[in-house]
Amino acid sequence: MKGIIWDLLETAGEAAVAYRAGRWVIACAYLERGYDAVGGEYLALPVFYWLGGRIMHNIIGFWRQL
């Protein structure tokens, strides 16, 4: 049961990092263009999700060792 909780925390952290970083990148692209559009900034979202996963995996792994 504890493993499921750690996995849920890790997934929630991944999603939070991807969401916040994605909103920032999309806002920056809007400011640069001056209008709403779908562009390459959306290609960065999977990268942010993967990066958030690596970060959360390391943090959760550290907490589990304590």
Tens of each residue's pLDDT in the chain, 66 residues: 778 988 898 899 899 999 999 999 999 999 999 998 888 889 999 999 999 999 998 998 898 888
Structure tokens at 17: 């990092």
pLDDT recorded at residue 15: 92
Q: Where are the domains of the chain?
A: 2-65
Write out the DSSP string of the chain.
-HHHHHHHHHHHHHHHHHHHHHHHHHHHHHHHHSS----GGGGGHHHHHHHHHHHHHHHHHHHHH-
Residues near 57 by Cβ (< 8 Å), separated by ≥ 6? 10
pLDDT recorded at residue 2: 76
pLDDT recorded at residue 50: 94
CB 8 within 8 A of CB 58: no
